[in-house]
Amino acid sequence: MDKRKPEWAPDGASAAFASSVVPGATPQTSPKVNRATKTWDPDELEAGIRAGNRTLLSRAITLVESNSNKHFGIAQELLQRLLPHSGNSVRIGITGVPGVGKSSFIERFGLYLISLGKKVAVLAIDPSSSISKGSILGDKTRMEELSRHEMSFIRPSPSSGVLGGVARKTRETIILCEAAGYDVILIETVGVGQSEITVRSMVDFFLLMQITGAGDELQGIKKGIMELADLIVVNKADGNNVERAKIAAREYNNALHYIRHATRAWDTKAQICSSRTGQGIPDIWQTILAFCATTKESGAFEERRRGQTSAWFEDMLQEAVLHYFYTDLRNIEIIPQIRERVSQGKLPVAYGVSKVMEHWTPSQS
Ligand SMILES: Nc1nc2c(ncn2[C@@H]2O[C@H](COP(=O)(O)OP(=O)(O)OP(=O)(O)O)[C@@H](O)[C@H]2O)c(=O)[nH]1
Ligand SMILES: [Mg+2]
């Protein structure tokens, strides 16, 4: 099969999925689907997505993931049309170290939500996929049943670009999925580096997954990560691990008294579950429902969403301005020269900066 094709294509995907999103050393500016259909028809995409057509949803995501300028306009037009139909989901981020059981949890939890009549979309932000140019979402055995279900839609991490670009694509993908009627959006990320902060900045509810270790549970967990979480879940509470998981949850609950909570008027707590037996899964959904009710009531839910969108706008604006600045011909030559003189100690740093700015905007100096 063509391993470059990023589409998740859950229809009959079986063992092909996950492991297929491999090489991609070059950004995928020419999605395969484009060759098949020749053109992108915004009317067709809009109507298809609104009708919940997963193939067209997949195509639209490929479009927003494209780095090509010629796709940008149409992707943005589509997003603008769909924006009024977005926002009606619960966006849930799930993080935890590799092996903690995130994908197994998503499979269980997703199937449970489907049993309640929900439509579930699963996205991923995997920073290592941009470094290694290949997805490590080795989930073909973990989410197999969910991926085959017609009420689910699973899409791996965009496989190229810096985290900022990946984040933009995921945010836009959330909008598309919501317009397609998905009620719950689950975003998996590996518990390393900046990706947790990034996912926190695009979700309503952030779930930190832990497992019991040997002894001191709190050792090794960073306070900073706990401060991002709305719920800590101690997974793998099954077999002879149940008691240890309960003890761990108690320890987290004690520790949570002493840290700042992620969401205004919401007390972050810890609970246990088993993604293997399904124990505790409904309780987690109850917690999330309680969270939504409380934060919607207090206004914190809307406030966060608005804040996230304006922060996203601000980030992109800053990125664009920096790009404009550094690629401006007036700066391309002078900045390295002044940097050199500054680093040699021949010019004070602030003076060097003022020289660059003067050169760039002589009229304002
Ligand atoms: N006993 C038990 N094993 C579990 C449970 N959940 C996951 N596992 C096992 O833990 C291993 C890792 O599970 P994954 O779901 O792939 O973990 P992950 O966090 O998604 O891992 P990465 O995607 O690599 O970050 C697998 O062997 C699972 O079968 C659980 O609740 N109980
Ligand atoms: Mg996983």
For ligand 1, atom 3, name the residue with the nearest CA: 236
Q: How confident is the model at residue 156 (pLDDT cuts 50, 70, 90)?
A: confident
Ligand 1, atom 17, lies closest to the CA of 101
Q: Are residues 204 and 233 in the same domain?
A: yes
Q: For residue 53, count CB atoms less than 10 angstroms from its CB and return exposed for 0-12, middle for 13-18, buried for 19 or more.
A: middle
Of the ligands numbered here, which is closest to the C-alpha atom of 99?
A: 1
Q: Is the pLDDT of residue 179 over 50?
A: yes
- Same domain assignment for residues 107 and 150: yes
User: Is 321 inside any structural domain?
Assistant: yes
Long-range contacts, stretch 2-5, CB < 8 angstroms, 24+ apart:
2/32, 4/28, 4/32, 5/32
Is 287 found in the same domain as 171?
yes
pLDDT confidence of 12, banded at 50, 70, 90? low
Asked if residues 167 and 62 have their Cβ atoms less than 8 Å apart, the reply is: no
Higher pLDDT, 221 or 103: 103
Any domain includes 51: no
Q: What is the pLDDT of residue 2?
A: 38
pLDDT at position 324 over 60: yes
Q: What is the 3-class SS of 293-319, one letter each residue?
A: HHHHHHCHHHHHHHHHHHHHHHHHHHH
> Ligand 1: which residue has its CA nearest to atom 28?
101
Worst-scoring range by mean pLDDT, 13-27, 153-167, 266-280, 335-349? 13-27
Residues 102 and 181 in one domain: yes
DSSP string for 154-211: E-----SS-HHHHHHHHHHHHHHHHHTT-SEEEEEEESSTTHHHHHHTT-SEEEEEE-
Choosing from 299, 322, 338, the residue where a domain stops is 299
Within this chain, do residues 336 and 190 fall inside the same structural domain, yes or no? no
pLDDT, position 158: 75
Whether residue 238 has its Cβ less than 6 Å from ligand 1: yes
User: Do the domain assignments include residue 60?
Assistant: no
Q: Is residue 49 part of a domain?
A: no
Ligand that comes closest to the CA of residue 98: 1
Percent of the chain with pLDDT strictly greater than 90: 61
Same domain, 273 and 328: no
Are residues 322 and 338 both part of a single domain?
yes
Q: What is the DSSP letter of 363?
A: G
- Asked if residue 100 has its Cβ within 6 Å of ligand 1, the reply is yes
Q: Do residues 261 and 133 share a domain?
A: yes
Indicate the residue among 299, 326, 351 that finishes a domain.
299
226 shares a domain with 119: yes
Structural domain contains residue 202: yes
Confidence at residue 224, expressed as pLDDT on a 0 to 100 scale: 82
**Ligand 1 proximity of 99 Cβ (cutoff 6 Å):** yes
Q: What is the pLDDT of residue 361?
A: 83
142 lines ligand 1 (CB under 6 A): yes
191 and 261 in a single domain? The answer is yes
16-20, 67-71, 182-186, 216-220: least confidently modelled range:
16-20
- The upper half-sphere exposure of residue 309, i.e. CA atoms within 13 Å in the direction of its Cβ, equals 10
pLDDT digits (tens, 9 = 90+) for 193-207: 788 899 999 999 999
Tell which of 245, 280, 299 closes a domain. Answer: 299
Residue 99 has pLDDT above 60, yes or no: yes
Q: Do residue 162 and residue 146 come from a single domain? A: yes
Among 238, 275, 281, name the best residue to mutate to test ligand 1's pocket (greatest count of ligand atoms within 8 A of Cβ): 275
222 found inside a domain: yes
Residues 143 and 254 in one domain: yes
61 within a domain of the structure (yes/no):
no
Given pLDDT bands bounded at 50, 70 and 90, which one contains residue 129? low
Ligand closest to CA 272: 1
Band (pLDDT 50/70/90 cuts) for residue 116 is very high
The CATH number of residue 102's host domain is: 3.40.50.300
Total count of domains within the chain: 2
Range of the domain at 316: 306-364
C-alpha atoms less than 13 angstroms from C-alpha of 355 in its C-beta half-sphere:
15
